[in-house]
Amino acid sequence: MGDPNDTRCCRASGCLWAPIGDVWRYRGRMGSRDPVGPPHCGHVTPARSPRPLQAIDDDCNQTGQMLAALLDWPQATCASSLSPEGPWLRVQREVDGGLETLRLRLPALVTADLRLNVPRYATLPAIMKAKKKPLEQVTPEELGVALGGGPRVLALAEPPPRQPGRLLPGVPELLHELRQRGHL
Domain boundaries, the chain: 1-52+117-145, 69-116
Higher pLDDT, 137 or 168: 168
What CA–CA distance (Å, rounded) separates 20 from 140?
11
Q: Give the ranges where 1-160 is alpha helix by DSSP (H).
A: 4-12, 63-71, 124-132, 140-143
Query: The whole model's pTM is what?
Result: 0.45
pLDDT tens digits, 53-112:
456 666 778 888 888 888 888 999 989 889 999 999 999 998 888 999 999 998 888 888
At 105, give phi and psi (nearest 5°): -80, 135
pLDDT tens digits, 13-40:
555 444 443 333 333 333 333 344 333 3
Residue whose C-alpha is closest to residue 118's, from 85, 81, 75, 77: 81
Q: For residue 45, give the amino acid letter.
A: T
